Structure 1
Amino acid sequence: MSRMHPDEWRARVELAACYRIFDQLGWTEMIYNHITVRLPDSVTGGERQFLINPFGLHYSEVTASNLLKIDIEGRKLDDSPWPVNPAGFTIHGAIHGHVAGAHCVMHTHTTSGLAVACTDGGLAQNNFYSAQLHEMVAYHDFEGITVHAEEAPRLLASLGSKPLLILRNHGLLAVGPTLPLAFTRLWTLQRACDVQVAQAALGRAIPIPEAVARKTTHDAFQFDARFGGGQDVFDALVRRLDRIDDSYKR
């Protein structure tokens, strides 16, 4: 790795750590789903290049060196023996290519996230976590497996300027100008879905008034760049990961 730009190596280590953290949190789907990161201009000279997981590896097997480097069309730019999942970069490529500040895109099929995505009402404004996401969540109707490029304009229209997207009947998606911020947004949405699914078995929930939700979202400092924009949360999880298994750094 001596000839690799240090900014690329840092991006690789951070993304590989994130894959391992997803595995620890149970946010994996066998060899499917993706977290993608755009490489900085200091590495690419302004070209759009991205890192993505090798198709066929479990998240627990992802390392800094085996991440794939791809272009905006999802074509490999390195000599890795691993392929790119064609469904993996359809959504991600569209967002990276057309959403300002979309440095990182995360997509999951967690059980509670998918369960909420399958409901008519979507995310309910009735718990501590959903109240922190007032007007931050968009929805996109299910069109099947995301391998068709013609879906991209409709998906982008659905996302608009929101940082979170519930893909109906499908799963959750988060976008961020940094990986830690995208992670913190997704974690909050995931927790909201977890609580919503657990609460559904107990009967009617207490709704949170819109004014209170708006205030709660305004006061949710974990998304604020002044307080690290999720960096402190992510760093804590990386330290935990390092105590258990730091092989992602290879």
Structure 2
Amino acid sequence: MEITDLQKDLAATFRWTARLNMHEGVANHFSVCLPGSSTDFFVNKAGIHFSQIKASDLILVTKENIEKLKKKPEIVDPTAINIHGAIHKKVAHAKCIFHVHSKYATILSTLTDPTLKPIDQNTMMFYNRVSVFNEFGGLGFEEELEKMASALGNKQHMLLANHGIIITGETIAEGFNALYYFEKAAETYLTALSTNRELNVVSHEIAEKTAQETANYPIDLAGMHLNQIKLILDKEEPEYKN
């Protein structure tokens, strides 16, 4: 089967996530729906380190093969099929899903109040755009799926309490860019908290205005970000496209 641009782009984000040290062994998953579908999506093959993933390592899950794949955990991690499949199907704007247990997002998820307060431009990007799923109940098999998809609702992203972060996007570039900046925002916020000084939290009006301005920025910074990543990988790790 011919390798698609979707696979190449998603493979590039795995490689870059590894470079950012936001991976976790051979766990965690990224996925992207086929154009026009909410049931058919590419997701990473089980057991491959993010730094080694190639475009051909992305497995196409479809409504025809999903039940067979659930019985073959050596091909696709069952939690990936369950969580990503449920969210793709139920949440229309979640065309791409990025799930990691990155350092700062995970620390944030362990706080009693995990709200990312608007204290700088990066934290303001996510103002009122992150839901919190407070019902950690294990590794993410069948019983949590509907609750998790419902908890995301109309928000773009979801912090999983005691677990990590789920970032969604309409495109791979949009989703990965949000993943990158959420981790930076969480790092800034947690570092500020560690000073034990009073935070300078901006008003609702300023935070919302900044979030909207970021979303409506006149140039495609997310696309440019991904293109630059691919330019670097084309020179240093061209096998990601294979």
What TM-score does the superposition give when structure 2 sets the normalisation length? 0.89
Distance 1:240 1:185 in 2: 20
**Mapped contact 1:142–1:170 kept (Cα < 8 A):** no
Shift of the alpha carbon at 1:198?
1.8
Alignment-derived partner of residue 153 in structure 1: 146
- Tell me the SS of whatever aligns to 1:227: coil
Identify the match of residue 210 of structure 1 among 204, 228, 234. 204
Q: CA RMSD in A?
A: 2.2
Alignment-derived partner of residue 58 in structure 2: 67
Shift of the alpha carbon at 1:55?
0.8
Alignment-derived partner of residue 20 in structure 1: 15
- Tell me the SS of whatever aligns to 2:4: helix
- Residue 244 in structure 1 maps to residue 236 in structure 2: yes
- Unpaired runs of 5+ in structure 1? none
Distance 2:140 2:158 in 1: 18
Alignment-derived partner of residue 87 in structure 1: 79
**Mapped contact 2:38–2:92 kept (Cα < 8 A):** no
Structure 1 range deviating more: 93-102 or 236-245: 236-245
Identify the match of residue 172 of structure 2 among 163, 168, 179. 179
Distance 1:48 1:219 in 2: 32
Shift of the alpha carbon at 1:226?
5.1
**1:120-139, aligned counterparts within 5 Å?**
120-122=112-114, 123-139=116-132
Alignment-derived partner of residue 195 in structure 1: 188
Distance 2:102 2:167 in 1: 13
Taking a change above 3 Å as real, the CA distance of residues 81 and 200 of structure 1, as seen in their structure-2 partners, is closer
- Residue 97 in structure 1 maps to residue 92 in structure 2: no
Distance 1:164 1:155 in 2: 11
**Mapped contact 1:91–1:146 kept (Cα < 8 A):** no
- Residue 30 in structure 1 maps to residue 25 in structure 2: yes
**Mapped contact 2:117–2:189 kept (Cα < 8 A):** yes
Distance 1:133 1:47 in 2: 25
Identify the match of residue 162 of structure 2 among 151, 163, 169. 169
Q: How many pairs were matched up?
A: 237
Shift of the alpha carbon at 1:10?
1.3
Distance 1:195 1:61 in 2: 29
Alignment-derived partner of residue 219 in structure 1: 213
Identity of aligned residues (%): 26
- Residue 10 in structure 1 maps to residue 5 in structure 2: yes
Taking a change above 3 Å as real, the CA distance of residues 142 and 111 of structure 1, as seen in their structure-2 partners, is farther
Deviations 1:12-56 (A, max 9, x none): 111111111111111101000000011225xxxx68321111111
> Looking at both structures, which has the greater relative contact order when contacts are Cα pairs under 8 Å and sequence separation is at least 6?
2
What TM-score does the superposition give when structure 1 sets the normalisation length? 0.86
- Tell me the SS of whatever aligns to 2:158: strand
Shift of the alpha carbon at 1:241?
2.0
Distance 1:121 1:91 in 2: 24
**Mapped contact 2:38–2:88 kept (Cα < 8 A):** no
Shift of the alpha carbon at 1:125?
2.3
Q: Which amino acid aligns with 1:215?
A: K
- Residue 107 in structure 1 maps to residue 107 in structure 2: no
Deviations 1:109-136 (A, max 9, x none): 0111100111122122223211122211
Distance 1:190 1:94 in 2: 24
Shift of the alpha carbon at 1:82?
4.8
